[in-house]
Structure 1
Amino acid sequence: MTPSAQVAVVVPTPAHSELHAPLTYTHDTPLPAGTLVRVPLGRRTVLGIVWDGAPAAPATATLRAVAEVWSALPPLDAGWRALVAFAARYYQRSLGEVALAALPPALRTLDAEALARRLARAPSPSGPTAQETPPALTADQTQALQAIESAMRPVLLFGATGSGKTEVYLQAAARTLARDPQAQVLVLVPEINLTPQLLARFQARFGASVVALHSGLTPAQRLRHWLAAHLGQARIVLGTRTAVWASLPRLRLIVVDEEHDPSYKSQEGARYSARDLAVVRAHHLAAAGCRVVLGSATPALETWHAAEQGRYQRIELPVRMGGAHWPTLRLVDLRQQPRGTLLAPPLRAALEARLARGEQALLLLNRRGYAPVIACGDCGWKSGCPHCSAYLVYHKRERALRCHHCGHAQPVPRACPTCGNVDLAPLGRGTEQLEEHVVQALAELRRPDGGPVRVGRLDADTARGVGALEQTLAAVHRGELDVLVGTQMVAKGHDFRRITLVAAINPDGALYASDWRAPERLFALLLQAAGRAGRDAAFTAAQGTQPELWVQTSQPDHPLFAALARHDYPGFAAQQLQERRAAGMPPFAHQALLRAEARQLEVALAWLQHAAACADDLPGRPQVTLYAPVPMTLTRVAGVERAQLLLESGSRAALQALLAAWLPCLHALRRTPAGRGVLRWAIDVDPLGY
C-alpha cells in the first residue's frame, strides 16, 4: 500500500539544536500521538515519538516513510507529552532533546522485534499486596492525610525531622490506590543513597507493585521498570529526579521527599528542576484528581514563599514521633580551643560518655578525602589540578591526589615539584582524616560489652563499591558501628535509632561563602543532621540521655545558630526572605544564566558580550537586566575555560519572552566568527548557583 498519511514525529536532536519542531514522515494510516516509531534520519534509523499537531512539511518536500510502528506498546499519554512540551519550552531546549532523553536509554536501541521479546517476558500485572500492617496515625498525621486528600493545590508537608512524614506518604499512597484499582503513585527522593531504605519501606507495605527508577540501575533494569510503569503493572514508582519523566498513564499522586534538596536540579542537559516539574505535572493532571505533596523539615525558600502567598497549602507536623525530644544545640567556640583542634575537648568528652553507655554518634564533615590540598611550607607550592582551577585532594589510603571535578589522579610526589623540599604537609581536613583521628582518640575507650569502639565512614569514596552503602547503613542499624563519620549523605533521610549525638566539625565555610544560597543550605544541612539524633524516644528514655547537636564554629554569635538552637525554621526563613526581598533576589526575581565554554577564557567572554548585544531589541528586554559576562567561580574544568552571563527580571513572563526570542540569535551567533572557538554554550533557567 502506498503511504498516504502524514505524521509529525519528534526525533532525538543534539543539545541546543536548531531543530525545534517535529519532522514530517508518511505512513499508510494516521498514527495516534504518543506512538513510538522508528524513522529514518540521515543514514540512521532512530526512535521517534508521534507528536500532537498537524505536520508542517512544505507541499513540495520529499517525505520519507516511517520504518516501524511499535503498536505493541501503548502510546505515551497526553499528560506525559504536555510535561515534555512544557519543559522544552520553559528550559529553552529542543523538543526532541527533552522527549527522547526522557526515555530509558535501552529503549532507544530496540527494534519492534526486540521489543516484542521484552514484552513477552514481562510479568503479568499485579495489584498491591500488603505485607505490613500500617501503624496507627497520630492526630497530626491524620489531619495531614485528610488535608492532602482534599487539597486543590500543591501541598507543602512541613514536618519536623522524625515527625512521621514517611508514614503520611505511605498511607496517602495506600488511599490513592484503594480508591482507583488502576491508580499510580510517583515518589521522588533526592539521592540514590536514600532510595534503598525508602524503597524497602514501600515494598514492605505494598509488595511487588513497587519499582525503582534511578541512574544506579543497569540499563536492562531501568527498561524493565519503565515498561512496568508504562504498562500499569507498577503501581508505585520510587526514584530520583529522572523518575519525574516516568510514563505513568494513571498517575494520581506525586510525592517529592526532601523537596528542598539541590539534587533535584539537573546540572546537565535541560537543567530542569524535578521538584518544579512534579508540580507542573500534577497541575496538568488536576482534572483527573492528581495531587502533589512536597515534604521537608527545611523547605526551599521558594517553596516556603509560595506557601506564604497561598499558592501552596502548608500542612504542619510539628511534633516528633513517640514524644522524642529535640536535640539540644551545643556550640564550641574554636577561638577558645588550641590551634588546629579537630575534635575540641568538650566534644570529645561528650562523645566518649555516650559511647561508653552504648549510644551511637554521627560526625559530619562535608568534605571527603584526607585533606583538600597538600602544600610545601618552603616555597608555597600547592597540589593544583593541571586541568582545572581547583586543588587536587589528598587521599591518604590510596597515596593519591585526585581532582573531584575532572577525575584526574596522580601519585603523591615524594618532594615538592618546585623546590625539592621533601616535607610536604596536608592542609585542611576531610572525612578520611577525621575518621583516622577518631579511631586514634578513642582507641582506649570500651563499649559496655568491653569491646573496642568501632568507627565507620560513609562518603562518595566509601560508597563507590557495589553494595557498600547498604552494608555501612545496615551496620549502623545493627549497632555494629558506634561512630559514623560522613559527608552530607549521612545527614538526611536516615532513620538511625540509637544515635544520640550529632556533631558538625567545621561548617563555617558556608557562613560567608560567595554563594548567596549558602546560609539556606547550611541551615538545612545542620537541622537535617540534628534530626538523626534522638529519633527513638524509648531508647533515649531508657538511657536517661538527651540528644544533642554539637557545632564547632569560630562564629558562635552568628544569627543562623540562634535560629538553629530554637529549631526555628520559620524564623530563619522570614529573615532570609526579608534579605532577599531587599536585594531583589529569588524568589522575588527570576534568573537565567547563559554559559559559554572555550579553550581560551577571552573567547568565551567575547562571545557572551556579543550575545548580550544581540538581546538589545528583543521582546521583554526593558524588564530584564543583563549583567556583564564574568568567569565562573570554578573557571577551568578539564582544560576548558568557562564564563557566564546573568539575566534577571521581576517578571517571569518577560524573562521567558526574551529567552525564546534570543535562542535563534544565539544559534546564528555561534556560526559567526565571534563563535569560532566556542566549544559549548547552554542556558540555565532558575539556576541554583553561579
Structure 2
Amino acid sequence: MVLRLAIPVPLRRLFDYLPPAGLNPANLQPGQRFQVPFGKRDLVAVLVEVAGDSPHAELKPATACIDPTPIFDARSRHFLQWAADYYQAPIGELYAAALPVALRRGKPADHWAEQWLELTTEGKGLPETALARAKKQQALLQLLLSSGRQSRTALNARGLNSSVCKALIERNLAHWVAGPTAPPPLEEVEPRPAPELNDEQRHVIDSVPATGFSASLLEGTTGSGKTEVYLRLMERALRDGKQALLLVPEIGLTPQTLRRIAARFPDFRIAALHSGLADGERARAWLSAASGVADIVIGTRSAIFTPLPRLGIILIDEEHDGSFKQQDGVRYSARDLSLVLAKNADIPVLLGSATPSLESLHNALSGRYQHLRLRHRAGNAKPPQISVVPILHQQLQEGFAPQVLRHIGETLARGEQALVFINRRGYSPALTCDDCGWLADCPHCSAKLTLHRRQRHLRCHHCDYRMREVHSCPQCHSRNLNALGAGTERSEDFLTHSFRDFPVIRVDRDTTASKQALDKLLEPARNGEPCLLLGTQMLAKGHHLPKVTLVVIQDADGGLFSADFRAPERMGQLLEQVAGRAGRGDLLGHVLVQSRYPEHPLLQLLLNKGYGAFARQLMDERKIAQLPPLRAMALVRAECEEPRWAEEFLANARDYLQALAPPSPELQYLGPVPALLERKSGRFRFYLQITAEKRGLLQKLLAQLSQWAEGNRNRRLRWAIDMDAQELS
C-alpha cells in the first residue's frame, strides 16, 4: 500500500511514501494530512490517493498521520486539482495555500475541538416556559430548543456561563458532547430588520435561481443597494439549510461587512477568513467552515479554497478588484475560481460591482453570464454632480487648486464631510538634490524611495527596504534637498493646517496597520461629525458614509499614459468608485476631478457617459489589439540576479513553444521583455507573453512547457506561469 502525497514544494507531481508504522490501512482516507521526511526537512503533506504499488524501488515511510479523518472532502480535492491543472501550479503548493498557517504547520485539527451543550430526551420534552422562575436557565432552555445545540464559546459570548449550564445538567435536562470546532465569537451587535426592497432589487433577487448552477453579473451603480441583494440571497440559502460564501477584496472591508451580516443574522454562525486574524482564530474559523458548523463564511481571496460541505451560494463583492488575483506564489484568481466551484457544487454564483471588469462584462454581453442591473441609488440618494478642474498653468498649493480648497472649506462649514483621494502614501514619492540631481533610489529595485517623514525614513514600497531620512546629499553633501510630489502624509499636514477647526482623518496602509484600526479611524465619519477624510484606494470602495457630500480626486491622470494596457480600465474603475462615495444619503453630492488633461477623450467619455460607455470603448480597443478579454493570455515569468540568465531561459522557452506551435493569427508570442518594474528585491524580472484565440490550445502548450521548464532551468533562477495575468509589472 502506497500513499500518494501532495507536498508543498515547487514540483508539479505527487510523491510516494509508505504508511507510518503501526497505522491501520483501513484508517487511510484521501484528504488527511501526514508528517513526512523530505530531504533534510519534515513537511506537512496531504494524501491525494492510496495506490497499490509504486514505480519507485525504495520508499520512505511517512512519519505520522496528523488527522484521524480527512479535512479536505472529495469536492475540495477535485476543485484543487482542477485549479492546479488550469494555473499550471504545483499541487502541493495549492494545498498549502488552501490551509491556514496553523494547519499548514501540522497543528492537529482536534486542538480546536469544541464542547457543545445539547438537551437530553427529557429536556427536549419540556415547554419553553418550564423554567420561568430562573430567567437565565429559561433563556438557555429556549435557545437549545430552537437551535438544537450550542458551543461553549457561543454560550459564553451570550453571557450564559458554566454555572447556568451546570444547573441544566444537574437537572438531567442537558449534557456536554464533543463536537466540531465553532467559529470565534463576533462582537455583539444590535439586530436590525431588513429594509424595504425597491423594484430593481426584487427583480435581481428573483432572477438568481435558488438551485442549480447559474452565473450572474450584478452591475449596480454605487449606493444602489447591492449589499442588501447579497443579504437577501444569503437569507434564502440559509433558510434551505445551506452555507453562504461571501468574498470581499480587502481586509479593511471585513469588519463592517461582518457587523452588517451579524446584525441581520444573529442566530447564525459566521466565520471570517483573512490574513488579519491570529493563526489560532483563522484555524478555528476554517475548521468550523470545513465541518459545516459555520453557516456564513466571509473572507478574502484564499477563502475560495475552504471546504464547505453545505455550500448553497457564492457572492463576490467588488468583483473587478485586482486583490482577487494572487500575484505571487500560486497565481490564481478567486473570482474566476468561484465560477468553477459553483459549477462543481451546482449552485448559483453572483458577481457584483459598480464597475465590472472587462472580463466579466464581456462574459455578460456574450451571454455566458446573466446580466443584472441596479441603475438607481437606494432611498432618496441622487447621483453626484461631477466637475473637472484643469490644473495646468494653475498655482497649486501642495497639489490642490484654489477652487478645490474653497469647496472643501464650504463643505466643512455646512457641517458636512469631504473626502480627498490621493493614491500615494507617505510624505513624498521622491527625494532629490537640487544641486547635483541625486535621486534617492532603492538599491534593490528599479524604483524611487518614498519619504515617510513621520517615521523619519525612506522606504521602498516594493521590497520594503528602509533607510534613515537624510538631510544632506550623500553625493555632493549639499543640504539643498527637495521632496518632489505629495503623498497622503504631506497632504494631511497641509490640510490640517488649512482647516484647523476640523479633524483630518488619514486612511492608508500606514495608519491602518493594526487590527480594527480602519474601523476606529472611520468612527467619527460614521457618526456624522464634520471632518475631512484623506486616503488611498482603501477609501474608494465599500464604505457607506452618508454625510460625505464632496469628493476630491487630486490627480486623475495616472492611468491615461501607462505602458500597461489594463491601466485605463483600473483608472476608470477607481475614479468611478471614489466618486461613488459622494451623496449616498439625502444630501446632494459633488465630485471635483483635478486633471492636467481635461480634454482627454477617455476621461471625457468616463465623466460624461459613465463607466458603461467607457468600458465598451476599451473593449473595442482590446479587440483591435487582440488582447484580453477577447483572447486568452498567459505570461511566463522569470527572475534572476543575473538578467542574462532570465532572458536566455525565456528565449529558450519561446523556441520550445514555437517548435510545438508556430506563431499564427490564432497564437502569438511577445518577448522576452523586461517587466515594467524590471528589478525587484535584487532580482531582474522578464516575461514572455502568449496570447491565443482558444484557451484550450494555450492550456495544452503551458502544460508541456511546465514539464520542459522543470528540467531546463538554472537553479538560481525562479520561473512561474501566470495564467490570465493581470499585471505586467
TM-score (ref. length: structure 1): 0.90
1:176 aligns with 2:237: yes
Q: What SS does the corresponding residue of 2:700 show, helix, strand or coil?
A: helix
Report what 1:660 is aligned to. 703
Partner of 1:432: 489
Q: Which moved more, 1:399-408 or 1:366-375?
A: 399-408
Give 1:340 deviation, angstroms.
6.3
User: Which letter maps to 1:157?
Assistant: L
Give the structure 2 partner of residue 449 of structure 1: none
Shift of 1:54: 4.8
Kindly indicate whether residue 261 of structure 2 is the aligned counterpart of residue 198 of structure 1: no
TM-score w.r.t. length of structure 2: 0.86
**In 2, Cα distance between equivalents of 1:517 and 1:178:** 41
Alignment of 1:161-240 (within 5 A): 161-179=222-240, 181=241, 183-207=242-266, 209-240=269-300
1:255 equivalent in alignment to 2:312: no
CA RMSD of aligned residues (A): 2.3
One-letter identity of the residue aligned with 1:193: G
| SS of corresponding position for 1:462 | coil
Q: How far apart, in 2, do the equivalents of 1:173 and 1:335 lie? A: 49
CA shift in 2, pair 1:414/1:131, >3 Å:
closer
Tell me, in whole angstroms, the C-alpha distance in 2 between the residues paired with 1:33 and 1:270: 26
The residue that corresponds to 2:123 in the other structure is none
Query: In structure 2, what is the equivalent of residue 447 of structure 1?
Result: none
Residue matched to 2:79: 83
1:12-67 Cα deviation digits (max 9, x unpaired)? 2322x14x135353464355754313243346554333325755613855463673
Instruction: Confirm whether residue 315 of structure 1 aligns to residue 368 of structure 2.
Output: no
In the TM superposition, residue 108 of structure 1 has moved relative to its aligned partner by 3.0
Which deviations, in whole Å up to 9, do the C-alpha atoms of 1:247-306 show, x marking residues without a partner?
1111110000000000000011111000001111001111xxx11010000000000000
The equivalent residue for 1:11 is 6
1:669 Cα deviation (Å)?
Answer: 0.9
Does the C-alpha gap of structure 1 residues 62 and 598 become closer, same or farther in structure 2, counting only changes over 3 Å? closer
Which residue of structure 1 lines up, in the alignment, with residue 511 of structure 2?
462
Residue 412 to residue 52, structure 1, CA distance change in 2 (3 Å): same
2:563 paired residue number: 514
Aligned length: 655
SS of alignment partner, residue 262 of structure 2: helix
- The alignment partner of 2:688 has SS state of strand
1:572 to 600, 614, 636: 614
Aligned residue number for residue 57 of structure 1: 54
Give the residue type in structure 1 aligned to 2:265: F
CA distance in 2, matches of 1:59, 1:74: 26
Residue 611 of structure 1 deviates from its aligned partner by 2.0
Distance in 1, matches of 2:31 and 2:503, equals 56
For 2:563, the aligned partner's letter is: S
Query: Which residues in structure 2 correspond to 1:180-579 (within 5 Å)?
Result: 181=241, 183-207=242-266, 209-286=269-346, 290-338=347-395, 342-443=399-500, 452-480=501-529, 482-537=531-586, 540=587, 546-566=588-608, 568-579=610-621
Alpha-carbon distance between aligned partners in 1 of 2:298 and 2:662, rounded to the nearest angstrom: 40
Residue 446 of structure 1: aligned partner = none
Cα gap change, 1:370 to 1:178, in 2 (>3 Å): same
Q: Is the 8 A contact 2:109 2:287 kept in 1?
A: no
Q: Is the 2:385–2:590 contact (alpha carbons within 8 Å) kept by the matching residues of 1?
A: yes
The 3-state SS of whatever aligns with 2:379 is helix
3-state DSSP of counterpart to 1:681: strand
Deviation of the 1:548 alpha carbon: 0.8
- Residue type matched to 2:581 in 1? R
State yes or no: 1:25 paired with 2:18. Answer: yes
| Cα distance in 2 for residues equivalent to 1:612 and 1:185 | 44
Residues 340 and 69 of structure 1, relative CA distance in 2, 3 Å threshold: closer
Alignment-mate amino acid for residue 649 of structure 2: W
For the 8 Å contact 2:276–2:515, the answer to whether it is kept is no
Q: Is the 8 A contact 2:224 2:374 kept in 1?
A: yes
Q: Measure how far apart 1:651 and its partner are.
A: 1.4
Q: Which segments of 5 or more consecutive residues in structure 1 lack a partner in the other structure?
A: 1-5, 444-451, 541-545
Q: Please give the alpha-carbon distance, in whole angstroms, between the structure 2 residues aligned to 1:134 and 1:7.
A: 55
Query: Per-residue deviation at 1:121?
Result: 5.4
Counterpart secondary structure, 1:295:
strand
Q: 2:658, 2:329 → 1: CA distance?
A: 27
Per-residue CA deviation, residues 372-391 of structure 1 (Å, 9 max, x unaligned), is 11111111111111121111
Match of residue 140 from structure 2:
none
Contiguous gaps of at least 5 residues in structure 2: 117-150, 152-178
Alignment partner, residue 40 of structure 1: 36
State the 1:164 CA deviation.
Answer: 0.5
Of 597, 605, 612, 2:647 maps to 605
User: Distance in 2 between the 1:613 and 1:384 partners?
Assistant: 36
Q: How far is 1:399 from its partner?
A: 2.4
Aligned letter for 2:692? S
Matched to 1:91, the amino acid is: Y
